[in-house]
Amino acid sequence: MASLTAGNRRPVRLADIAKAAGVSHGTASNVFSRPEIVREEVRERVKAAAEAMGYGGPDPKGRLLRAGKVNAIGVATAEPLSYFFDDPFARVMMASISQACDATGAGISLVSAANNEQLAWNIQSALVDGFIVFCIEGGSRLVELARERKLPFVALDLDSEDGAVAAIGVDNIAGASLAARHLTDLGHRRFAVLALPFADGRTGLVSPEQVRSATYAGTRDRLTGYLQELSRAGVDTSKVPVYETANDAASTNAALETIFAAKEPPTAILAMSDKIALVTLEWLSARNLNVPNDVSIVGFDGVPESAVSEPPLTTIAQPIAEMGRLAVKAILDSDGRISRQLLPVELTVRASSAPPRG
Amino acid sequence: MASLTAGNRRPVRLADIAKAAGVSHGTASNVFSRPEIVREEVRERVKAAAEAMGYGGPDPKGRLLRAGKVNAIGVATAEPLSYFFDDPFARVMMASISQACDATGAGISLVSAANNEQLAWNIQSALVDGFIVFCIEGGSRLVELARERKLPFVALDLDSEDGAVAAIGVDNIAGASLAARHLTDLGHRRFAVLALPFADGRTGLVSPEQVRSATYAGTRDRLTGYLQELSRAGVDTSKVPVYETANDAASTNAALETIFAAKEPPTAILAMSDKIALVTLEWLSARNLNVPNDVSIVGFDGVPESAVSEPPLTTIAQPIAEMGRLAVKAILDSDGRISRQLLPVELTVRASSAPPRG
DNA sequence: ACATATGTTTGAATCGATCCAAGATGCAGA
DNA sequence: TCTGCATCTTGGATCGATTCAAACATATGT
A116 to chain B, any CB pair closer than 8 A? The answer is no
Looking at residue B34, what is its pLDDT?
94
How many angstroms separate the most distant Cα atoms in chain B? 92
Residues of B in contact with A33 (CB under 8 A): none
Q: Which nucleotide is nearest to B27 (CA to C1')?
A: C9
List CB-based contacts (under 7 A) with strand C. A 11, 13-15, 25-26, 29, 32-34, 57-59, 61-63, 65-67; B 22-27, 30, 37-39, 41-42, 65-66, 68
Closest CB to A65 among B62, B109, B148: B62
Cα distance between residue B115 and residue A32, in whole Å: 20
Nearest C-alpha in B relative to A55 = B150
Quick one: B55 and B91 in the same domain? no
Q: Is nucleic acid strand D under 7 Å from B177's C-beta?
A: no
Shared-domain flag, residues A33 and A164: no
Chain D footprint bases within 7 A of protein beta carbons:
7-12, 14-21
Res. B334: pLDDT tops 90: no
Please tell me if residue A205 touches chain B, with a CB cutoff of 8 Å: no
Kindly report the backbone phi and psi dihedral angles of residue B136, in degrees, each rounded to the nearest multiple of 5, phi listed first: -100, -125
Residue A41 CA and nucleotide C29 C1' are separated, in Å, by 28
Residue nearest to nucleotide D17 (CA to C1'): B62
CB contact under 8 Å between A109 and B114, yes or no, is no
In a domain, B327, yes or no: no
Does the pLDDT of residue B4 top 60, yes or no? no
Note whether A110 contacts B111, CB cutoff 8 Å. Answer: no
Supply the range of the domain harboring residue A177: 171-319+344-348
> Looking at residue B45, what is its pLDDT?
96
Amino acid B12 CA to nucleotide C10 C1' distance, rounded Å: 22
Q: Are residues B261 and B139 in the same domain?
A: no
Run of H or E residues at B72: strand B72-76
Alpha-carbon torsion B77, B78, B79, B80, what sign?
positive
Query: Do residues B349 and B334 lie in contact, with contact meaning Cβ atoms separated by under 8 Å?
Result: no
| Nearest Cα residue to B88 out of B303, B261, B232 | B303
Residue B99, chain A, CB below 8 Å: the answer is yes
- CB of A300 within 8 Å of a chain B CB? The answer is no
Output the pLDDT for position A214.
83
Banded model confidence at residue B139, pLDDT cuts 50, 70, 90: low
For B73, the closest chain A residue by CA position comes to A109
Q: Quick one: residue A3, left, alpha or beta (phi over 0 = left, psi -120 to 50 = alpha)?
A: alpha
pLDDT per residue over B274-324, tens digit each? 999 999 999 999 999 999 999 999 999 999 999 999 999 999 999 999 999
A180 shares its domain with A128? no
- B48, B66, B84 — which closes off a domain? B66
Q: Identify whether A337 is part of a domain.
A: no
* CATH number of the domain enclosing A30: 1.10.260.40
CA-to-CA separations, B229 to A290, B181, B187, in angstroms, rounded? 46, 6, 13
Residue B58: its chain A contacts at CB < 8 A? 124
**Of B113, B134, B169, which residue is a domain's last?**
B169
Chain B contact present for A248, CB below 8 A = no
Question: Does some domain include residue A224?
Answer: yes
Q: Is residue A311 part of a domain?
A: yes
What does the DSSP assignment read for B162-192?
-TTS-EEEE-HHHHHHHHHHHHHHTT---EE
Q: Which residue from B268, B222, B261, B228 is spatially nearest to B244, judged by alpha carbons?
A: B222
Chain B residues closer than 8 Å to A86 by CB = 95
Whether residues A176 and A296 share a domain: the answer is yes
pLDDT (tens digit per residue) in A290-341: 999 999 999 999 999 999 999 999 999 999 999 999 999 999 988 777 788 9
- Same domain, yes or no: B26 and B81: no
Same domain, B286 and B265: yes
Using an 8 Å CB-CB cutoff, list chain B residues near A150.
10, 54-56
User: Looking at the domain assignment, is residue A331 inside a domain?
Assistant: no
Q: Is residue B135 part of a domain?
A: yes
- Bases on strand C under 7 Å from any protein CB: 7-21
Is the Cβ pair B61, A82 closer than 8 Å? no
The residue from B118, B134, B169 where one domain ends is B169
Closest CA to A110 of A70, A76, A143, A86: A76
| Candidate from B54, B114, B127 with C-beta closest to A64 | B127
- Distance between CA atoms of B40 and B225, rounded to whole angstroms? 70
- Condensed to tens digits (0 to 9), the pLDDT of residues B246-276 reads 999 999 999 999 999 999 999 999 999 999 9
Is residue B279 helix, strand or coil?
Answer: helix
Q: What are phi and psi of B102, to 5 degrees?
A: -55, -45
Q: Do B194 and B274 sit in the same domain of this protein? A: yes
Interface contact B102, partner A, CB < 8 A: yes
Q: Nearest nucleotide by C1' from A30 CA? A: C18
In a shared domain, residues B165 and B190: no
CATH (domain of B106)? 3.40.50.2300
Same-domain status, A111 and A188: no
Does residue B281 lie in a domain region?
yes
Cα B352 to Cα B292: distance, rounded to the nearest angstrom: 5
Question: What ranges make up the beta strands (E) of chain A?
Answer: 72-76, 107-111, 131-134, 153-156, 167-170, 191-195, 204-205, 242-244, 268-271, 296-301, 314-317, 340-343, 346-348
Distances (CA, A) of B142 to B116, B135, B211, B213, B343: 10, 8, 22, 19, 22
Mean pLDDT of B328-333: 91
Q: What is the pLDDT of residue A138?
A: 58
Distance from CA(B10) to C1'(D26), angstroms, rounded: 40
Assign B335 a pLDDT band (cuts: 50, 70, 90). Answer: confident
The total number of structural domains that make up chain B: 3
- pLDDT value of position B44: 95
The single-letter code of the amino acid at A346 is E
Same domain, B184 and B299: yes
Q: Report if residue B356 sits inside a domain.
A: no
User: Quick check: A51 contacting B, CB < 8 Å?
Assistant: no
Do residue A102 and residue B91 have CB atoms under 8 angstroms apart? no
Return per-residue pLDDT of chain A as tens, 358 residues: 333 333 445 689 999 999 999 999 999 999 999 999 999 999 999 999 999 999 999 999 999 999 989 999 999 998 899 999 999 999 999 999 999 999 998 999 999 887 888 899 999 999 999 999 987 665 678 888 999 999 999 998 766 666 778 889 999 999 999 999 999 999 999 999 999 988 877 888 988 888 888 878 889 999 999 999 999 999 999 999 999 999 999 999 999 999 999 999 999 999 999 999 999 999 999 999 999 999 999 999 999 999 999 999 999 999 999 999 999 999 998 877 778 899 999 999 999 999 999 7
What single string gives the DSSP state of each residue in A263-315? SS--SEEEESSHHHHHHHHHHHHHTT--TTTT-EEEEEE--GGGGSSSSPPEE
Q: Does B126 touch chain A (CB under 8 A)?
A: yes
Which residue in the set B62, B113, B148 is minimally distant from A56, CB to CB? B148
Distance B37 CA to D30 C1' (A): 30
pLDDT tens by residue, B46-79: 999 999 999 999 999 999 999 989 999 999 998 8
Both A55 and A190 in a single domain?
no
d(CA A58, CA A287): 63
Q: CA–CA separation, A106 vs B109, rounded Å?
A: 11
Put simply, the answer to whether A105 touches B118 (Cβ < 8 Å) is yes
Which helix (DSSP H) or strand (DSSP E) does residue A229 occupy? helix A217-232
